[in-house]
Structure 1
Amino acid sequence: MAAKNHTDISEFLLLGLSEDPELQPLIYGLFLSMYLVTMFGNLLIILAISSDSHLHTPMYFFLSNLSFVDICFTSTTIPKMLVNINAHSKDISYVGCLTQMYFLMIFAGLDNFLLTVMAYDQFVAICHPLHYMVVMNPCVCGLLVLMSWLIMSLVALVHVLFILRLNFSLETEITHFSCEVAQILKVAHSDTFINNICLYLSAVLLGVFPVMGIFYSYSKIVSSLMRMSCISGKNRAFSTCGSHLCVVCLFYGTALGVYLSSAMTSSSQNSTIASVMYTVVTPMLNPFIYSLRNKDVKGALGRLLSTAGTCL
């Protein structure tokens, strides 16, 4: 099929997880359930933090932002997927695909930045407790979140502008359930060298450096905790850090799975499954990790639910 300029393309076709008609109801029910659990769990975290004055601290401010970003991250892909399954359709408009890609990059990057900032917050709280309220004051916390939004918005915009110069076939099929950058580049009929260079640079700047920052923060945290004599304080710090480390491992582990499956295998099915873990399962599990491992969040959730039960 002849390649056409992007201005002639009206839509792409998202092939989804499976083309088997018998599996569509199962996929629909599974993803609808996971989406509802993700929404409900993260909303509960946000409501618990906002309603409990004891949780109005930098760490929980970042956690509430992480929950909000996870809601947005999942909402970027799953509703469209569910609509397509329900309508027995695979299409997504050209503009809709680029819009979905734009917000996917923003929210994935924000997850990355927020996890890094939360590690830094833990580092300051444990290693420099006397300076904590000065270093992590509300203005600094707000500025860190705002800068994260601005950086990711600009990075995502650059990728969109570079993709606008590419040519695609009419009714281009994307063997995925969402419009990820790597998947769009695979189906382009133009030279994607510049796009790939931009993608790799983004991965290094927005992935490698934050991971190095997290490792550095936790190396200092562990060193400081080993010197701590108070057992109760040490256990409390380990509990708080443990929740964050679980989320970090889950996020970067699944993200690495997406990258390796795309780079080392030609199987689109493996890449799609890895992406499900990255974009759907991780945001769904984050609230459970924080609520089950963190006594403060667990207590706030209990008070929130008891208050809601009393009102009803």
Structure 2
Amino acid sequence: MAWENQTFNSDLLLLGIFNHSPTHTFLFFLVLAIFSVAFMGNSIMVLLIYLNTQLHTPMYFLLSQLSLMDLRLICTTVPKMAFNYLSGSKYISMAGCATQIFFYVSLLGSECFLLAVMAYDHYTAICHPLRYTNLMRPQICGLMSAFSWILGSTDGIIDAVMTFSFSDCGSREIAHFFCDFPSLLILSCNDTSIFEEIIFICCIVMIVFPVAIIITSYAQVILAVIHMGSGEGHCKTFTTCSSHLMVVGMYYGAGLFMYPQPTSYHSPMQDKIMSVFYTILTPMLNPLIYSLHNKEVTRALMKILGKGKSGD
């Protein structure tokens, strides 16, 4: 029976990651707590950058886009997982599954390209400060951000359409807590090697190409910092860049582990653990990393909190 011949009213079974043992119940509520922190942290970052005019710069605009991507990413997977666990249901519709694949892949891809744009922004600010306002003017910054969203969405469409073009072997059980296309490929009776080659090529474009831009940008930044005479300039530059490099390391590390490899090379449990890392933990850590390492963000937050208290 082919996926395309099934109606979108047919349901798939998400086996999930938790059972109802005391330990797994504790872990489930821990994930909910992490989700809450990630949701609040990224929402605050987006609103803070939008409301504070002093943060209306290319760097903070790109940071708001990163928080928006993280916010949508955690909302793509965690609410459905929580609903299924609390309700005792394991079902997800074909339409819901296709939607999860599209948004999940799109947001991961968009974030790959956006992190490269953020590295380029740091490069121009540090290596070409006099030309920065021209090189990163709002139109160019907005265009690069838009291309990040478009390229990620294109990959999401390709993966969602290709995944549901294969025939299944009768099994409806997905060994995951959300619809991830490698888990669905395991259910297929067809030879998926060509599709996996396409995925590999997409990974080259979406991971290796942005990583090359990031490495090149920061190599130039390091050389520029070495020639700086001011110790204070060294500290400020490394503080700004270290935040971005921490996020890049976490994000691309998980991506390189997961998607360039064929599905047969890693177990369902490995997929679940790594998915938890970059769909739940990383979106929580991103706003914390940037806010803790950024005095302007902290100052803007304290200013808004101070106005709230004075209004009371």
TM above 0.5, one fold?
yes
1:7 matched to which residue of 2?
A: 5
Residue deviations 1:215-237, cap 9 Å, x none?
A: 00000000000001122222111
Q: Distance in 2 between matches of 1:130 and 1:264?
A: 51
Q: Once the 2 structures are TM-superposed, how far is the Cα of residue 27 of structure 1 from its aligned partner? A: 3.6
Alignment of 1:1-312 (within 5 A): 3-8=1-6, 10-259=10-259, 265-312=265-312
Q: Once the 2 structures are TM-superposed, how far is the Cα of residue 74 of structure 1 from its aligned partner? A: 0.6
| Corresponding residue SS for 2:168 | strand
| Corresponding residue SS for 1:229 | coil
Q: Distance in 2 between matches of 1:156 and 1:36?
A: 26
Measured at CA, do residues 162 and 5 of structure 1 come closer, stay the same or move farther in structure 2, by a change above 3 Å?
Answer: closer
Amino acid at match of 1:109: G
Q: Distance in 2 between matches of 1:275 and 1:5?
A: 24
Greater Cα offset, 186-195 or 274-283 = 186-195
Measured at CA, do residues 174 and 52 of structure 1 come closer, stay the same or move farther in structure 2, by a change above 3 Å?
Answer: same
> 2:14–2:91: 8 Å Cα contact kept in structure 1?
yes
> 2:258–2:271: 8 Å Cα contact kept in structure 1?
yes
Amino acid at match of 1:54: Q
Q: Once the 2 structures are TM-superposed, how far is the Cα of residue 246 of structure 1 from its aligned partner? A: 1.1
| Corresponding residue SS for 1:190 | coil
Cα RMSD for the two superposed structures: 1.9
Identity of aligned residues (%): 37
Measured at CA, do residues 171 and 22 of structure 1 come closer, stay the same or move farther in structure 2, by a change above 3 Å?
Answer: farther
Q: Distance in 1 between matches of 2:222 and 2:300?
A: 27
TM-score in terms of structure 1 length = 0.93
Q: Distance in 2 between matches of 1:258 and 1:309?
A: 46
Gaps of 5+ in 1: none
Residue deviations 1:211-269, cap 9 Å, x none?
A: 01100000000000000112222211111111111111111122234348876854321
| Corresponding residue SS for 1:12 | strand
Amino acid at match of 1:26: F
